[in-house]
Amino acid sequence: MEIRTRFAPSPTGYLHVGGVRTALFSFLYARRHGGKFILRIEDTDLERSERIFEDQLLDDLKWLGLNWDEGPDTDGSYGPYRQSDRLEVYRKFANKLVEEGKAYEVYAEPDDIGKLREEILAKSQAPHYTREMLEKLSTEKIDEYKMSGKKPAIYFSMPRKDWILNDLVKGDVNFTEDSTGDFAIMRSSGLPTYNFAVVVDDALMKITHVIRGDDHLSNTVKQMALYESFGFPLPAFAHLSTILGPDRTRLSKRHGSTSVGEYRKRGFLPEALVNYLALLGWSHPEQKEMMSIEEMEKLFDLDRVSKNPAVYDEKKLTWMNGRYIREVSDERLYETSKPFIVPKMFSEEEYVSNKKWIIQSIKSLKTELEELSQLSEKMEIFFVKPEVDHDLFVTVEKSGVIQAYKILIDLYESIDDWNVEKITEVTKKAVKDSKIKASDFYHPLRKILTGKESGPDLVEFIFLIGRENTIARLRKFLEG
């Protein structure tokens, strides 16, 4: 049997990290077992669905490397892969259930259903509907509906029995016969409800494994009943535990960035985000933390997915992103850094013509970076001359290092070929010739040239700002 998983987002907003984890686990499970990963767009919420969100969603998934085998922009045998293009399919299957007596038409307004719900709750009963209740409402409205040409909703007759779901993450989940009552499968607008459309789509697209968040767990009993009524084979279900914020409440915007787009704007690398999200509920067999998506594809399985909620730690994510930034190739770092430097620091033309210098300057700052959005601020040290620290001048003067810096200026002026090796050589000579401690020489020198206590390799920095800038900063300091 070919393994087929799917990710079925609604284009009603930007892609959330919780959705990414669901997509990632579905993608990895399919790849691990040589199967197919399908992308389906659930856009039947016409009021909230927007094409801009769908386009962004597709772009974000591609950026993350979660490429689908079948989807709205990819040929497949089971399309269309956008629900709004499948409305006739849903009508056909809903009518089939009505013809078989497994579903029925309801002529009632949403307000009528709401009042019925309130009446049931007032009796301290579960808000479950029965065919008898809803057909009674229909008798009052059926003539009005038919005369005005309004369409009825269609409700499914929920079989009254217990159900057991063998969930691949949660284990056995029991649903008693009073878990739910009859429920709508088609609205009077002609649009399908979520529980109905998802069953029809998953069955017709031959989905073998449904991997999703456990907020869908309560829906599963309705879907199991629909599968049974149609005679469709039931897919395997795996419900992933909720992602919590550091305060142990459901992850939301109040905890910080939560969408892929926000992390892209902050300069996160896709492999860092994928790596971190994979560890939210799944663990590497050898407890490794840093791993490529290719390694995950070979190792991922649901038996290592935890039942317990995962806690989202953005500090760990930024740490991991910093690790990936330090490991990325020079060429990719140059390309990836462009949106964060142009036009703040350079024009397009300058970025191209100064490529070698820009690569070297970014490399020198690598150890300080956790997000590429920090680059423009970090790079200011190459262009902004620091203010003279008068307290530092007093300290340097007392320690006798002033003379050493004067020697250093003369040596820098004498260099024929301005390069890291030559700068290193003459800087060491200045320390030796002035007969002072290296620590008394180098620490103040960094503060004089950069205005900071720490930063990139000092000699590399001196090389990058150039001879004239270096000497000018030193002279400005020595002049007090």
Give per-residue pLDDT as tens, 262-314: 999 999 999 999 999 999 999 999 889 999 999 999 999 999 999 999 999 99
- Both tokens assigned to 335: 């390309």
pLDDT single digits (tens) 313-370: 999 999 999 999 999 999 999 999 999 999 999 999 999 999 999 999 999 999 999 9
Class of domain 86-240: alpha beta
342 phi/psi in degrees, rounded to 5: -95, 125
- 216's tokens: 């869908």
Instruction: Summarize the confidence of residues 140-158 as an average pLDDT.
Output: 87
Q: How far is CA 4 from each of CA 85, 207, 209, rounded to the nearest angstrom? A: 21, 5, 6
Q: Which two tokens stand for residue 306?
A: 């935890």
Pick from 35, 83, 74, 19: nearest CA to 207? 35
Which CATH superfamily groups domain 4-71+243-311? HUPs (3.40.50.620)
State the sign of the Cα–Cα–Cα–Cα dihedral 179, 180, 181, 182. Answer: negative
Burial class (CB in 10 A: 0-12, 13-18, 19+), 454: exposed
- Considering the entire predicted model, what is its pTM? 0.92
Segment 99-112 shows an average pLDDT of 91
Residues with catalytic function: 253
Between CA 312 and CA 328 the distance in angstroms is 25
CATH class assigned to 390-478:
mainly alpha
Strand order through the sheet with 4-7 = 36-39, 4-7, 209-213, 236-240
Are 220 and 165 in contact, with CB atoms under 8 Å apart?
yes
